[in-house]
């Protein structure tokens, strides 16, 4: 199927059990359904970001009460990476609240990438916009993945972020792809977007030069002080349908059930895993917000019978 917008709309209208069956069947064709990839997140530079992303606690445009912190030193970052590995993560993802990485800080980030890799972890960073030179430098340091999200549909994007364009995002993704770094690209559900926006978000993902290796699907964590603080939560079955359709459209990509799990029941998460989500962030904290706790996740894995994937693709 070409997955035009009309095809995706039709999938959203398929009866839930039929859609779940289709997605699970596809999932089983390419993955062990009892296996889950565990990544760990760590914020290496916090707050005072010049961008105005309406969902983000780290934007300097909103007062969210966050304590700002400059780029951490390599030792502190490495300590966290070791902890993440000991807790069962196979990938260490580092985030920085930058519009784009300052040229003076890039060599520091490159050293950190080398050191984290030497610990036997895969590496991922999300540092904002990259030019080709930045992307090539990160590749030379051995970076495995770069996370940069389309976030939503091109139309809804303009209501959420005014300080950089959807096209800017596509340009960064092109530089990452060109550099030969694996692309991690997804979005946020539950920002008040319509189903049409969710459809156009998926169309946008499908139009990337290559299917992203990794697709994070975040449920909005409404942060006090941001313009989206009072946004009503997305209807849970609509979220599950979106995960299922993402699996059908991207049969070989890892789909990460990312932010928002703290507010999801185990049953809801299990349905997301059943229809194709096969990766999570493990650890008590995301970048700045709370994550589902490590102990709760370990319990959930036991109840479902999920095994953590020891080696990522
Ligand atoms: N400056 C980098 C950037 O924007 O690419 C930093 C990483 S940014 C925090 C990564 C992604 O986290 C965003 O694109 C968004 O999808 C997600 N995110 C941020 N705040 C969120 C929130 N409150 N709820 C859910 N997802 C969120
Ligand atoms: C992504 O799509 N989700 C992660 C990761 N990429 C960097 C970030 C979630 C952030 C949630 C809000 C916070 O912790 O500040
Ligand atoms: Fe937050 Fe990243 Fe947007 Fe900055 S660019 S406000 S860190 S999401």
**CA-proximal residue: ligand 3, atom 2 (nearest):** 97
Q: Which residues are catalytic?
A: 49, 53, 56, 93, 124, 184, 256
Alpha-carbon distance of 271 to 292, in angstroms, equals 16
Bridge-partner residues for 218, per DSSP?
A: 188
Alpha-carbon distance of 25 to 268, in angstroms, equals 19
**In 3D, which of 161, 142, 138 has the Cα closest to residue 52?**
161
Residue spans per domain, the chain: 5-312
pLDDT band at 15 (very low <50, low <70, confident <90, very high): very high
Q: What CA dihedral angle connects 308, 309, 312 and 313, to 10 degrees?
A: -140
Span 156-178, average pLDDT: 97
pLDDT band at 276 (very low <50, low <70, confident <90, very high): very high
**CA-proximal residue: ligand 3, atom 7 (nearest):** 97
**In 3D, which of 166, 185, 197 has the Cα closest to residue 255?**
185
| Residue to probe by mutation, ligand 2, list 258, 261, 262, 282, most atoms within 8 Å of CB | 258
Q: Are strands 214-219 and 254-257 parallel, antiparallel or unpaired?
A: parallel
Alpha-carbon distance of 152 to 200, in angstroms, equals 8
User: What spacing in Å lies between the alpha carbon of 17 and ligand 3's midpoint?
Assistant: 37
Atom number in ligand 1 closest to CA 148: 5
User: What spacing in Å lies between the alpha carbon of 289 and ligand 3's midpoint?
Assistant: 14
278, pLDDT greater than 80: yes
Ligand at minimal distance from the CA of 96 is 1
pLDDT band at 1 (very low <50, low <70, confident <90, very high): confident
Residue with tokens 């009072």: 230
**In 3D, which of 206, 278, 234, 252 has the Cα closest to residue 7?**
206
Q: Give yes or no for residue 282 CB within 6 A of ligand 3.
A: no
pLDDT digits 0-9 by tens, 217-275 = 999 999 999 999 999 999 999 999 999 999 999 999 999 999 999 999 999 999 999 99
70, pLDDT greater than 90: yes
CB neighbour list of residue 17: distance below 8 Å, 6 or more residues apart: none
User: What spacing in Å lies between the alpha carbon of 217 and ligand 2's midpoint?
Assistant: 10
Second-level CATH architecture of 5-312: Alpha-Beta Barrel (3.20)
User: What spacing in Å lies between the alpha carbon of 282 and ligand 3's midpoint?
Assistant: 21
**CA-proximal residue: ligand 2, atom 11 (nearest):** 259
Atom number in ligand 3 closest to CA 59: 6
310, pLDDT greater than 90: no
**CA-proximal residue: ligand 2, atom 1 (nearest):** 216
- Helix/strand/coil percent split, the chain, to 5: 40, 15, 40
Lowest-pLDDT range of 16-30, 160-174, 272-286, 298-312: 298-312
Indicate the helix (H) or strand (E) that contains 255. Answer: strand 254-257
pTM: 0.95
Q: Give yes or no for residue 128 CB within 6 A of ligand 3.
A: yes
Atom number in ligand 2 closest to CA 286: 14
Residue with tokens 């970001």: 49
CB 268 within 8 A of CB 278: no
Atom number in ligand 2 closest to CA 216: 2
**In 3D, which of 204, 126, 213, 210 has the Cα closest to residue 165?**
204
**CA-proximal residue: ligand 3, atom 6 (nearest):** 59
Ligand at minimal distance from the CA of 149 is 1
| Helix boundaries (H) for 91-212 | 106-118, 132-140, 154-160, 166-179, 195-206
Atom number in ligand 3 closest to CA 126: 2
205, pLDDT greater than 90: yes
Span 137-149, average pLDDT: 98
Written as six digits, the tokens of 73 are: 């030193």
Mapping DSSP to helix (H, G, I), strand (E, B) and coil, where does residue 89 land? coil
Three-state secondary structure string covering 229-278: CCCCCCCHHHHHHHHHHHHHHCCCCEEEECCCHHHCCHHHHHHHHHCCCC
pLDDT band at 313 (very low <50, low <70, confident <90, very high): very low
Residue-averaged pLDDT of the chain:
96
143, pLDDT greater than 70: yes
User: What spacing in Å lies between the alpha carbon of 161 and ligand 3's midpoint?
Assistant: 9
CB neighbour list of residue 207: distance below 8 Å, 6 or more residues apart: none
Span 148-155, average pLDDT: 98
- Residue 312 has a pLDDT of 42
What are the phi and psi torsion angles at 6 (to 5°)? -65, -35
């Amino acid at each position: 199927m070409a997955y035009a917008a009309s095809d995706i709309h039709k999938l959203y209208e398929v009866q839930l059990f039929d859609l779940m069956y289709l997605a699970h069947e596809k999932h089983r064709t390419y993955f062990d359904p009892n296996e889950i990839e565990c990544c760990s997140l760590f914020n290496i530079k916090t707050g005072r970001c010049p961008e105005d992303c309406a969902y983000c606690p780290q934007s300097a445009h909103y007062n969210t009460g966050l304590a700002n912190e400059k780029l951490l030193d390599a030792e502190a970052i490495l300590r966290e990476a070791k902890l993440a590995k000991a807790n069962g993560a196979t990938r260490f993802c580092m985030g920085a609240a930058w519009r784009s990485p300052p040229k003076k800080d890039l060599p520091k980030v490159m050293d950190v990438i080398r050191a984290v890799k030497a610990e036997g972890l895969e590496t991922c960073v999300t540092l904002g916009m990259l030019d080709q030179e930045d992307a090539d430098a990160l590749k030379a340091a051995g970076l495995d993945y770069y996370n940069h999200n389309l976030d939503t549909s091109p139309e809804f994007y303009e209501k959420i972020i005014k300080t950089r364009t959807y096209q800017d995002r596509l340009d960064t993704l092109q530089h990452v792809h060109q550099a030969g770094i694996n692309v991690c690209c997804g979005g946020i559900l539950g920002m008040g977007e319509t189903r049409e926006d969710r459809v156009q978000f998926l169309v946008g993902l499908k139009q990337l030069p290559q299917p992203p290796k990794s697709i994070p699907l975040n449920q909005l964590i409404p942060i006090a002080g941001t313009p989206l603080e009072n946004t009503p939560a997305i209807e849970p079955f609509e979220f599950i349908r979106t995960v299922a359709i993402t699996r059908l459209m991207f049969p070989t990509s890892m789909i990460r059930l990312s932010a928002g799990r703290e507010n999801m029941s185990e049953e809801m998460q299990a349905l997301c895993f059943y229809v194709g989500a096969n990766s999570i962030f493990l650890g008590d904290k995301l970048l700045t917000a709370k994550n589902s706790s490590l102990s709760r996740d370990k319990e959930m894995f036991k109840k479902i019978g999920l095994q953590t994937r020891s080696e990522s693709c």
